[in-house]
């Protein structure tokens, strides 16, 4: 079987159904790509280990960029919300949801880390 192309935004899948969606998430996870967009929504699959994608280099890389221009990342969502707040002069909200043990607290910590940087 030829290697399947992975899509960093599920809206880009040529055939969007449950099977292709799950296969794409599985393929990305195997490559340690734990973040995937669905439009402006970010799906995170908890790797249950630390990945080297939370250092100052990534903070700088995702500073003041457009969503979708770089690989999906929690820093991208934080940055877009922050700049929308500045431009619109209105409060912003980021909803983090998931089951117990899914990594909500850790995601919140990464999000706050980017905002404070």
- 100 annotated ligand binder: yes
CA-based radius of gyration for the chain: 15
Q: Is the dihedral of CA 51, 53, 54, 56 positive or negative?
A: positive
Cβ atoms of 81 and 64 closer than 8 Å: no
102 is in an annotated binding site: yes
Q: Judge whether 101 is annotated as a binding position.
A: yes
Instruction: Judge whether 104 is annotated as a binding position.
Output: yes
Q: Do 10 and 42 form a contact (C-beta atoms < 8 A)?
A: no
Which residues define the annotated binding site for ATP? 98-105
Binding residues: 98-105
């Amino acid at each position: 079987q030829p290697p399947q192309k992975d899509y960093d935004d599920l809206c880009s899948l040529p055939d969007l159904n449950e099977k292709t969606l799950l296969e794409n998430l599985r393929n990305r996870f195997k490559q340690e790509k734990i973040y995937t967009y669905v439009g402006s929504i970010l799906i995170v699959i908890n790797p249950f280990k630390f990945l080297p994608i939370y250092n100052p280099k990534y903070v700088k890389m995702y500073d003041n960029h457009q969503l979708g221009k770089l690989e999906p990342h929690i820093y991208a969502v934080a940055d877009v919300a922050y700049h929308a707040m500045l431009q619109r002069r209105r409060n912003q909200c980021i909803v983090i949801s998931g089951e117990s043990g899914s990594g909500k607290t850790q995601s919140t910590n990464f999000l706050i880390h980017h905002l404070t940087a």
